[in-house]
């Protein structure tokens, strides 16, 4: 469950992005998910050189469930983020901030062991937040902001 302060901060971030966006520099990524997927959000929104990534859960595409192994779930979600960034001509090293929601803070080390392997030029700023249940039984939801370098 997000705190009121976290919700207010996220709303402020989204509002600033909307104000900054114009018809010329706003590009919405709708197609990184299956075209039949009609959920009411974009995988990412690009404003100028900044890409705002929606939260992602590491679900196995074959089963639409998280892998049994927590480390495999981290790899799955990080691979998904990497793929969305690549579609916009970016890499993991373009991430400037990442927020991780986790249902079990005891998995902090497991997450870090996998997460650190995705970066070559240092790490983005990051929050690791304990949460209540996540969609589809996921243990981790990861969202981020990237700036094209």
Quick: pLDDT tens for 81-132. 999 999 999 999 999 999 999 999 999 999 999 999 999 999 999 999 999 9
Q: What's the whole-model pTM score? A: 0.79
Give the range of the structural domain holding residue 29, as residue numbers without chain letter.
4-147
Q: Give backbone dihedrals phi and psi of 60, rounded to 5 degrees, phi first.
A: -70, 120
Q: Cα–Cα distances in Å, from 60 out to 55, 66, 69, 71, 104?
A: 16, 6, 11, 13, 20
Closest CA to 41 of 28, 50, 27, 51: 28
Beta bridge partners of 45: 28, 52
Find out whether 111 and 139 touch, Cβ atoms under 8 Å.
no
- Using a 10 angstrom Cβ sphere, with 0-12 exposed, 13-18 middle and 19 or more buried, the burial of residue 7 is exposed
Q: Give the pLDDT confidence of 21-76 residue by residue, as tens digits.
A: 454 566 655 455 555 667 778 889 999 999 999 999 999 989 999 999 999 999 99
**What pLDDT is attached to residue 34?**
59
Structure token digits, residue 17: 């992005």
CATH code of 70's domain: 3.30.1330.40
Number of domains the chain contains: 1
């Amino acid at each position: 469950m997000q705190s009121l302060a976290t919700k207010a901060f996220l709303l402020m971030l989204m509002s600033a992005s909307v104000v900054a966006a114009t018809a010329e520099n706003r590009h919405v990524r709708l197609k990184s998910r299956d075209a039949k997927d009609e959920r009411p959000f974009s995988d990412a929104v690009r404003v100028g050189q900044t890409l705002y990534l929606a939260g992602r859960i590491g679900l196995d595409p074959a089963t639409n469930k998280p892998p049994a192994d927590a480390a495999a779930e981290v790899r799955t979600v990080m691979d998904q983020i990497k793929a969305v960034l690549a579609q916009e001509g970016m890499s993991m090293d373009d991430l400037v901030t990442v927020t991780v929601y986790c249902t079990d803070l005891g998995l902090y080390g497991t997450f870090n062991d996998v997460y650190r392997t995705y970066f070559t030029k240092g790490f983005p700023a990051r929050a690791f937040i304990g949460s209540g249940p996540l969609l589809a039984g996921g243990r981790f939801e990861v969202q981020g902001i990237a700036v094209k370098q």
